[in-house]
Structure 1
Amino acid sequence: MTGPFQVTVQPSGRTFSVEPGEAILAAAIRQGIGMPYGCKDGACGSCKCKKLEGSVVHGAHQSKALSAEEEAKGLILTCQAVPQGDVVLESRQVTDESAFPVRKMPSRVTTLEKVSHDVMVVKLQLPANDTLRYHAGQYIEFILRDGARRSYSMANAPHSGPHVELHIRHMPGGKFTDHVFTAMKEKEILRVEGPFGSFFLREDSDKPMILLASGTGFAPIKALIEHLQFKGTRREAVLYWGGRRPGDLYMDQWVKERAGDLPNLRYVPVVSNALPEDNWTGRTGFVHKAVIEDFPDLSGHQVYACGAPIVVDSARAEYSDACGLPPEEFYADAFTTEADKHQG
């Protein structure tokens, strides 16, 4: 295998080079070519696209991200696909202007606030003279001392100065989250890299929006809401935020206040496993189903969904099949844990 190889993305006609042994997505990120993606680990399926010409070899990935049947039809995961020659793809492309440079930089923990039994809001100070440019909805990665990485969406829009807010759920036994909940202190220095991800607001559309969040999937949705408020956007948006119990909606009051400030934002909290002592009188059931109940026709909407893979995957399939949502109008960031990434 020689190389480098050329990848052409249709319908845009954009081309870029890929080094031998390099995955298509890694080459795109390295060169500032914006393509859809989420986890970069073959677990979420956000980077899935159609291969029109050429040959690739896939690295390890989960069958729920790319099934054998899909692969036989020519679909690939760009995060795991290594070209064996020149390749032509068909992919919804993020414009080049949207791809901010990926940077590594130090950060300092400024505040730690435990907002529920298993969610910590962590705020990081970034270098004032080395601005991290990003879109509301994107994520950063912590680079741990052993080289391992952990990804978290930024919960604040980029208009609020050189800091980022993260919502970190405790995964008992998790190397990083155990540290966050038991040992992390203010002023701790952590190395981060970003921004990553293609989950951000498409501002060239005036379609009404469904914002769908489960658990800490609310974090990037919060950033989108802050961005909408900052821009004075008049697009209609309905936020559906789901949790098992009311306490899982850990910034419920913040959302209610934003809905009061933004006349075009409506908020629908949904709880799936309320107990009698919760005295819950709101919507119940699966959060993605609540959207279907309220919007049986989504053909004229955009959906921004974030949270557990089962919620995102179910919403993607059902909104398209049952509600007529155009697949290209479903934007998602599935929160894959380290355990998710290592499933078969």
Structure 2
Amino acid sequence: MKLNVLIQPSGHSFPIEAHETILDAAAKHGFNLPYGCRNGACGVCKGKVLEGTVDHGQHVAGALTASEMAAGQTLFCCAKATSDLVIESKEIGAVSQIPVRMLPSRVERIEKLAPDVMALWLKLPANEQLQFFAGQYIDILTKEGKPRSFSLANAPHEGELLELHIRNIAGGTFTQFVFNELRVRDILRFKGPLGTFFLREDGDKPIIFVASGTGFAPIKAIIEHALYIGIQRPMHFYWGARVLADLYMLGRAQEWEARGIRFTPVLSDALPEDGWTGRTGFVHKAVMEDYPDMSGHQVYACGAPVVVEAAHRDYTTQCRLPEDEFFSDAFTFAPKS
């Protein structure tokens, strides 16, 4: 039996079947709700059920708390309708213009950017080009067909090769494969583009970018896209890492400063040999120190879930950032298989 879902405030509606998640059913009928990981871990797709009931499904502990469920919230990537629904969610109109595709690619170049960060450049078949928004990601499919998500680090105008930054995760089968076995000219299949983390170009507010670790990759793509199209809004980029070596493209970020992008690197555990004299501590706290009132800003945050979640919580509750001006992509790791 099909049920119906009404999206507020847009007034759009779509049918949903018992086996479908709200996110999948919406996308099938042309309505794109915000999402990130699609597996109940990052919380980007969190929204409110105004009327009706849902099966919340399986999600990572902490992504949806008992109090949030009691308040009517759910994760649309996991939740299934058990009655007709009225939900509250933003819609991302621009994503619907780009088809998600399954494509082969050839490894054109491999470069170790840091002891635990590898960059890959993938080349598509002749006469193929991937259309995407700066900040989106792709799912690389392992030999077993399991998806592994990585953000695109290049802007669309530099789309001849697709650039990925991959951190070596202890015990991670795919990342171990990348660091120890993958070779130039190997073939990788992927699905994409995916995600709703991209620059809202129609805004006029100053922008704060916050990245931790390889969360730098999609921020890099967005900043280079913004520079390419000539966006004039003030932009300030914060990059948090443990030690100096983790700022694996420090020179690139410093180059942006000459083009008007303010840059603040922050180290949490600088080594004596780093000779670090810059900002220290947690990156999201450094932003709060500089911008105690974010009511007139937009924030784009990407990286470890603990950083993204802390930024969202503290900026909206302590720094007056409007809820709908926080855009994020939290990097969650697949099971070690």
Report the TM-score, using the length of structure 2 for normalisation. 0.96
1:290 corresponds to 2:286:
yes
Instruction: State the distance in 2 between where 1:99 and 1:224 align.
Output: 18
Q: Which runs of 5+ in 2 are unaligned?
A: none
Matched residues, number: 337
- Alpha carbons of structure 1 residues 127 and 86: separation in structure 2 relative to 1, 3 Å: farther
Kindly state the Cα deviation for residue 245 of structure 1 after the two structures are TM-superposed. Answer: 0.2
Instruction: State the distance in 1 between where 2:51 and 2:309 align.
Output: 28
Instruction: State the distance in 1 between where 2:108 and 2:209 align.
Output: 29
Asked whether the equivalents of residues 134 and 222 of structure 2 are also in contact (C-alpha less than 8 Å), the reply is yes
Q: Alignment partner for residue 325 of structure 2, among 325, 329, 333? A: 329
Identify which range, 325-334 or 24-33, moves more after superposition.
Answer: 24-33
Q: Alignment partner for residue 308 of structure 1, among 277, 289, 304? A: 304
Superposed counterparts of 1:116-131, under 5 Å = 116-131=114-129
Kindly state the Cα deviation for residue 134 of structure 1 after the two structures are TM-superposed. Answer: 1.0
1:273 corresponds to 2:269:
yes
Asked whether the equivalents of residues 32 and 96 of structure 1 are also in contact (C-alpha less than 8 Å), the reply is no
Percent of aligned positions that are identical: 53
Instruction: State the distance in 2 between where 1:75 and 1:188 align.
Output: 44
Identify which range, 143-152 or 122-131, moves more after superposition.
Answer: 122-131
Other structure's SS at 1:268 match: strand
Kindly state the Cα deviation for residue 97 of structure 1 after the two structures are TM-superposed. Answer: 5.8
Asked whether the equivalents of residues 130 and 159 of structure 2 are also in contact (C-alpha less than 8 Å), the reply is no
Asked whether the equivalents of residues 32 and 99 of structure 1 are also in contact (C-alpha less than 8 Å), the reply is no
1:338 corresponds to 2:337:
no
Asked whether the equivalents of residues 95 and 196 of structure 2 are also in contact (C-alpha less than 8 Å), the reply is no
Other structure's SS at 1:338 match: coil
Instruction: State the distance in 1 between where 2:97 and 2:44 align.
Output: 17
Q: Alignment partner for residue 84 of structure 1, among 82, 85, 93? A: 82
Kindly state the Cα deviation for residue 8 of structure 1 after the two structures are TM-superposed. Answer: 1.7
The one-letter amino acid paired with 2:332 is: T
The one-letter amino acid paired with 1:316 is: H
Instruction: Calculate the aligned-residue CA RMSD, in Å.
Output: 1.5
Runs of 4+ in 1 over 6 A off after TM superposition: none
In structure 2, the partner of 1:21 is: 19
Instruction: State the distance in 2 between where 1:254 and 1:196 align.
Output: 25
In structure 2, the partner of 1:103 is: 101
Asked whether the equivalents of residues 43 and 75 of structure 2 are also in contact (C-alpha less than 8 Å), the reply is yes
The one-letter amino acid paired with 1:60 is: Q
Q: Which runs of 5+ in 1 are unaligned?
A: none
Other structure's SS at 1:198 match: coil
In structure 1, the partner of 2:113 is: 115
In structure 2, the partner of 1:39 is: 37
Instruction: State the distance in 2 between where 1:119 and 1:274 align.
Output: 18
Instruction: State the distance in 2 between where 1:249 and 1:72 align.
Output: 41
1:318 corresponds to 2:314:
yes
1:154 corresponds to 2:152:
yes
In structure 1, the partner of 2:173 is: 175
Instruction: State the distance in 2 between where 1:223 and 1:17 align.
Output: 36
In structure 2, the partner of 1:213 is: 211
Asked whether the equivalents of residues 36 and 46 of structure 1 are also in contact (C-alpha less than 8 Å), the reply is yes
